Structure 1
Amino acid sequence: MPVFAAFFVAQRVVIHPSALKQGEIPLVACCVSAAEQANVPITVHFDHGTSKQELVEALDLGFDSLMVDGSHLSLKDNIAYTKYISLLAHSRNMLVEAELGRLSGTEDDLTVEDYEARLTDVNQAEEFIDETGIDALAVCIGNVHGKYPASGPNLRLDLLKDLHALSSKKGVFLVLHGASGLSEELIKRKLDRERPMNNDRKQPTKVPLICSQIPESLGFNLWNHE
C-alpha cells in the first residue's frame, strides 16, 4: 500500500490524513497536481479529517471535497467544528461530507474500539444537517472499518430507513463507510429478509466526488470502500 494510503476507483482518488503525517504537504500536493493535469477527469477527496489543522491544509492544497470527522466529539462540538470547516470549504466550492455516529474498527492509523462506537441518532442527524450545511452525511448503522465477524455484519436497516428518509428530505447524500466487507449481494439478501424498502424512491444523482454509485434499493447515495 502506498504511504499516502490512497486508492483509485474509476476517476476518484481518496487521500487519508496519514499522507500529511508521513509524506507531508509536498507528497499530497503532487497527488492533487497529478489529478489536475490528468487527461481524464479525476476528483481528489480528503478523508477523515479529525483536526482543523489538517483540514485547513487540505483546503489550501486544492482538494475537490473533504470529510470532516468530528465523531470523537460531543454533538455540540462536532456541530461547531463541522460548521466552521463547511463554511470555509463551501467558499471554495468544495463538497463537504461529515460523520455523525462512530464506527468501530481500524482504518490506516485511526482505531476506534468497540466500546467507543455508537450508532447515528436520527434526531441528532436532523439538527446536525441543519446547523452545519453539509452536502453528505456519513452514518453508522452497524457498519465498521476493517473486517466483519464470520457471522456477517449486524446492520440496523430500520435505522437506515429513517436516515434515508431524513437525508432525502434535507437534500443531502447518505454515505456508508466500511463497505469493503459488504458485498452488494450480501446486503440485498439482508434487505430481502427484512422486506424490501425504498422501492419508490427516485434515482439518486450520480456524484463521483466521494464514493461510487450503488443500487438505489440499498438506501445509500454514496458507498465508501475502506
Structure 2
Amino acid sequence: MELVSSTQMLEDARKYKYGVAAINFHSLEMLQPIVGAAEECRAPIILQTTEGTVRHLGLEYIVALVRVAAAKSKIPMALHLDHCRDFNVIVRAVRAGYTSVMIDASLDSFEDNVRKTKEVVRMARAVNVNVEAEIGKVGGVEDELAVDEKDAFLADPGECEEFVRRTGVSTLAPAVGTAHGMYKGLPGIDYPRIREIASRVNIPLVLHGGSGIPDEQLKLCVASGMAKINVATEIRNTFTDAVRQFFTEQPQQKDPRYYMAYAREAVQNLVKKKINICGGPEARAQYQ
C-alpha cells in the first residue's frame, strides 16, 4: 500500500470507539518492529517523528524508509510529524511525503493558536494531509518541548469547540491530565472532560502522554473518546533497556545485528500490547 492520510483511519476509530496507536521511532531498528507489530495485529498504525528525529535522520531518509514499509504491507500506515512549532518545517515535511502533521501552538495565546493552526490547515488540506493541534498544555518533556507541571493546564471544552469551528483542524489533542515522559505515580486523567470534549466536537481526539499509563486507564481513555494514542518515551526506554540487558548478558558481543535484533523484539512485543489495549481485532473488525 501507499502511505495514507490518518484522517479516515481516525474517523473510523472515533466512529467505532477504538484507538489507533501512534508510535514514535528514531531509527530503522525501531521502525521495523512497530510495523511488524501492526501487521501481526492487522491494525492501522501511525508512525511518528519529532523535529529532533527529522534533524537526526533527515526528512528524505524517513519518508523513504516508511514508504518501503508501506509498500511491503497491506495495513494502512500514516506518517506524522509530531509537536512541530515551525511552519517551514511542516511545509517541508508535507512536500517530502508526510501524510499528517501537528502544529503545536499550545504555548501561545488562544488567538495565536487559532491563527497558526488555520494557516497550516489551509496549506495541508489542499494535499489531503491530516492536521493535528493541541489545546491546553500537556506537562512533561517531549523531544525539545518542555512544560513544567505548574504551567500545565487542562483544555476547556468550550474552547475546544470554538477552536475546531474556527480552524477546521482534522484532529485535536486536548490536555486532559496526562503528561509527556514516564509517570512517577498514577496519572490524574480527567475522563469526564474527555467525554464532554468528545461530545462537543465532531473530529477525533488525540491522547498525548500515552507512555506508562496503566492498561485499564488507557482503555478508559479510549472508551471515553480518544481515537489516537501517542506513545513515545516508553518505546524509546524499552529499546534502550533491551540493548543494556543484552550487553549485561553478552558483554563480549560486538555485532550490532545481534543486540539490535534483541531490542527489536522487545519493541515489537510492547507495540502489540499497546495496539490490543487500544482496541483489538474485535473492535476493528467492524469496519474491515
Q: What's the TM-score once normalised by structure 2's chain length?
A: 0.62
Matches within 5 A, 1:1-226: 2=26, 8=34, 10=38, 11-35=45-69, 37-41=71-75, 42-150=77-185, 152-167=186-201, 171-186=202-217, 215=222, 217-226=223-232
Question: Greater CA radius of gyration, 1 or 2?
Answer: 2
1:100-155 alpha-carbon deviations (Å, 9 max, x no partner): 111111122322211221211112111110111011110111110012222x1112
Task: Give 5+ residue unaligned stretches, structure 2.
Answer: 1-24, 39-44, 233-288
Alignment partners' CA distance in 2, 1:31 and 1:78: 32
TM-aligned CA distance change 1:173 to 1:99, over 3 Å: same
Alignment partners' CA distance in 1, 2:108 and 2:169: 17
On the 8 A contact 2:59/2:93 being kept in 1, the answer is no
Residue 26 of structure 2 aligns to which amino acid in structure 1? P
Structure 1 residue 24: deviation in Å? 3.0
Residue 2 of structure 1 aligns to which amino acid in structure 2? H
Q: What's the TM-score once normalised by structure 1's chain length?
A: 0.77
Residue 97 of structure 1 aligns to which amino acid in structure 2? E
The structure whose RCO (Cα within 8 Å, separation 6+) is larger is 2
% identical equivalent positions: 29
Number of the residue aligned with 1:208: none
Alignment partners' CA distance in 2, 1:25 and 1:160: 34
If each structure's helix is expressed as a fraction of its own residues, which one has the higher value?
2
1:155-209 alpha-carbon deviations (Å, 9 max, x no partner): 2223222212112xxx200111111221331356xx6xxxxxxxxxxxxxxxxxx
Alignment partners' CA distance in 1, 2:195 and 2:70: 38
